[in-house]
């Protein structure tokens, strides 16, 4: 993974290899400036397998990726080159294509 893009207080990503591969794929995009793993919350959802879902961009075009594995949830914050919500939405479409095989 482009370690220069990964930042924050910790670098733990839930989901084992799948989670790490998704974040590594996202880091290859030129439109991604920084990836910051959020805290890991246990017991936040009803079980199930691994899932990855982008949440809507903020007003500056930055993104959040929600990773779920069983009852464990983690938000991954993604700082992008986007300047607004519309550009962030376009980047989500691109990143969804990039990680399509891993979701």
| pLDDT per position as a tens digit, 36-77 | 999 999 986 666 789 999 999 999 999 999 999 988 999 999
**Residue 103: what pLDDT?**
57
Provide the 3-class DSSP secondary structure of residue 76: strand
CA–CA separation, 83 and 87 (whole Å): 6
Residues 23-43: what's their mean pLDDT?
94
Q: Pairing state of beta strands 50-55 and 72-80?
A: unpaired
DSSP state of 62: -
CB 91 within 8 A of CB 82: yes
As beta bridge partners, residue 52 has 67
CA–CA separation, 82 and 47 (whole Å): 34
What is the pTM (predicted TM-score) of this model? 0.87
Residues 66-92: what's their mean pLDDT?
96
Residues 16-40: what's their mean pLDDT?
94
**Residue 44: what pLDDT?**
66
**Residue 6: what pLDDT?**
87
Q: pLDDT band at 100, cuts 50/70/90?
A: confident
């Amino acid at each position: 993974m482009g370690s220069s893009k990964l930042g924050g207080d910790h670098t733990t990503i839930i989901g084992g290899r799948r989670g790490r591969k998704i974040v590594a794929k996202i880091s290859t995009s030129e439109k991604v400036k920084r990836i910051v793993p959020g805290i890991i919350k246990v017991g936040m959802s009803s079980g199930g397998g691994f899932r990855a879902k982008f949440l809507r961009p903020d007003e500056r075009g930055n993104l959040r990726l929600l990773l779920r594995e069983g009852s464990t949830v983690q938000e991954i914050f993604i700082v992008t080159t986007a300047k607004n919500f519309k550009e962030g939405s376009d980047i989500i479409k691109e990143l969804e294509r990039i990680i399509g095989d891993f979701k």
